[in-house]
Amino acid sequence: QVQLQESGPGLVKPSQTLSLTCTVSSGSLRSGAHYWSWIRQRPGQGLEWIGFIYYSGTGFYNPSLKSRVTILVDTSKNQFSLELSSVTAADTAVYYCARLTTEDFYFDYWGQGTLVTVSS
Amino acid sequence: QSVLTQAPSVSGTPGQRVTISCSGSSSNIGSKTVNWYQQLPGTAPKLLIYSSYQRPSGVPDRFSGSKSGTSASLAISGLQSEDEADYYCAAWDGSLKGVLFGGGTKLTVL
């Protein structure tokens, strides 16, 4: 059973960079059948796809966030990470990491999510 | 702003059958498969239906998916109190070159 776990600061100041890491257990990031993704959910709102990365390092990002987002992968640690720059209060959300299949683009495994609050 | 449109809420009584709809366009549902997620209160979303019709192992057959043209539906039969949750449709969008989620439908079991 693949497990994903988000980690990182729960509080980030406005204009700073939000950084989160997702650690994958019982599964390899080198799987050619999957992308590794970040999704967020603002308080009381729906789900928003942020982006995903392939083990090779190729990434795809939501155009609405693309200018501020970087997703990196570290296959040696079986981790991938999210960096979101120049954050504002609008970036306050629960951030989820998830595994995305390459065939029909569904998220089959999710982390439990981590709340990140942007506040001074 | 979701391009996949879902009704904000739906309700039903125990034992009843309810349907949740998801409307898209030719760049997403019209050309790709649809996936559905269930989010119980305070928890992470869980895959409920994939590839428009398939159920992951462990998902009861009370849940079923369908797709026609640029719309898709999730049906829940024999409604139970534990089905009370938010339900999201999602699909790959060729124009966005990414995954689109619907706005979500809150199911209330009366």
pLDDT at B3: 84
How far apart are the C-alpha atoms of A85 and B52, rounded to whole Å?
35
Residue B60 is predicted with a pLDDT of 96
Among B51, B92, B101, beta carbon nearest to A48? B101
* Residue closest to A95 by CA, chosen among A29, A30, A43: A43
Determine how β-strand A114-118 pairs with β-strand A11-12. Answer: parallel
Percent above pLDDT 70 for chain B: 98
The pLDDT of B80-106, averaged and rounded, is 96
pLDDT at B1 over 80: no
A16: number of Cβ within 10 Å: 14
**pLDDT at A28 exceeding the cut of 90:** no
Q: Looking at residue A19, what DSSP letter applies?
A: E
Classify residue B22 by burial, with Cβ atoms within 10 Å: 0-12, 13-18, 19+.
Answer: buried
- Would you say residue B2 has pLDDT above 70? no
Number of CB atoms found within 10 A of residue A95's CB: 22
**Residue A54: is its pLDDT beyond 80?**
yes
Q: At A4, is the pLDDT very low, low, confident or very high (cuts 50, 70, 90)?
A: very high
**Cβ distance of B45 and A61 shorter than 8 Å:** no
pLDDT digits over B5-16, tens only? 999 999 999 999
- What percent helix, strand, coil does chain B show, rounded to 5? 5, 50, 45
First to last CA, chain A: 39
Calculate the alpha carbon distances from A7 to A34, A37, A81 in Å.
21, 14, 9
**A52 to chain B: which residues are within 8 Å by CB?**
99
Q: How far is A61 from chain B (nearest CA, A)?
A: 7
> Which of A3, A47, A71, A110 should be substituted to probe chain B, the one whose Cβ sees the most B Cβ atoms within 10 Å?
A47
